[in-house]
Each structure stands twice: as structure tokens, then as C-alpha cells.
Amino acid sequence: MSLLEIKTFGCPVLRQKASSVEEVTDDIRSLVQEMFETMYAAEGIGLAAPQVGMSIRLLIMDVSPSDPEATPTVLVNPEIVSADGEITGEEGCLSLPGVSGEVKRHANIAVRALDENGCSVEYELSEIHSRVAQHEVDHLDGTLVTDHFSTIKRNLLRGQLRKLKREGVRQTPGLIYTTETD
């Protein structure tokens, strides 16, 4: 396995709506393992496939640094089926190094997806689990954490975001997932 390049602000793949995964294959499972290695190396707690250049609806999360009882989670084609409550907190992003800000999210969500074996799963998530899942699902829809920041916060970050964007547009956008048929 190898570490993948994390795409940064300005890389076009981060603004694309990701395609559904038609089938969970060995290639998808290999990508999942590489994504976990990459996320752990970057000291993150969540990572979506577009952040490593794959425009597919796949995300991973492991919030064990905040919740020692948590286990690594893989969500393929995740769909938030219900949400309630509200929490606000500081969020950062591996694709926006050094950038963070206050974001309002749902306190509790139910998410339906496939796991790394292609089996249907449904989770009731709250607190950090809910926040991370919503953040990563945003990536699958081409939404970045900065889109949730206040106008004042975005204005304060303007110079930093411009610099990141210059670097991000030079990154190769990655692969677009397609299914092969024989």
C-alpha cells in the first residue's frame, strides 16, 4: 500500500459531485486501505475519495482520537436519511491545511450506505461521528467546509485561500471512476 496525494483547495475534483459506486470490488477495497493509511499519516479523522482524486461516493472515518470506543468506518454511497438537532463547532479539513472555522451541523443523523464488503449498513450517529460524516458527505457533493463559514471568516481567510488555490490548481485532478463492462 502507498500514501495517496491529498488534493487541496483549488483542485477541480474537490468541486465535482462524485459518482455512485456501482459495485464494491477488490479495487475499491484496496482504495479504502490506501485512504486509511493516508488519513492516519495526515492525522485526520475522516477522508472522502474526492480528496485523493477519486470522484466516487466513498468515505472513511475513524474518530478514535476523540472517542476511544470508535471503530474505523467505511461508507460507500452514503445517504443521510434523517437529521435533527444542531451543534456548532470548529472544523478543519485535510484539503485546506491550516484553515478552520465554526460550522453549524446536525447533532444527530441516520446514514444508510454499503460497507467495504458491499453489505447494506445503517448507522445512527451523534456528536463527533455525526459531524465527521456530514463533513465527508459534503465532499462527495463538491461542498467544502469553507462554504459553511461566515462571510466575515471567508474574508479573513482570503489571502490564505488564494495561496492554497494556486497550489491546488496545479495538482492533477485524479481519476474519474468508471465501471468496466465485459
Q: For residue 19, what is its C-alpha cell? A: 459518482
Catalytic residue among 34, 43, 136, 167: 136
Q: How far apart are CA 3 and CA 52, in angstroms?
A: 10
136 is catalytic: yes
Using CA atoms, how far apart are residues 149 and 106, in angstroms rounded to an integer?
Answer: 15
**Which residues are known to be catalytic?**
136
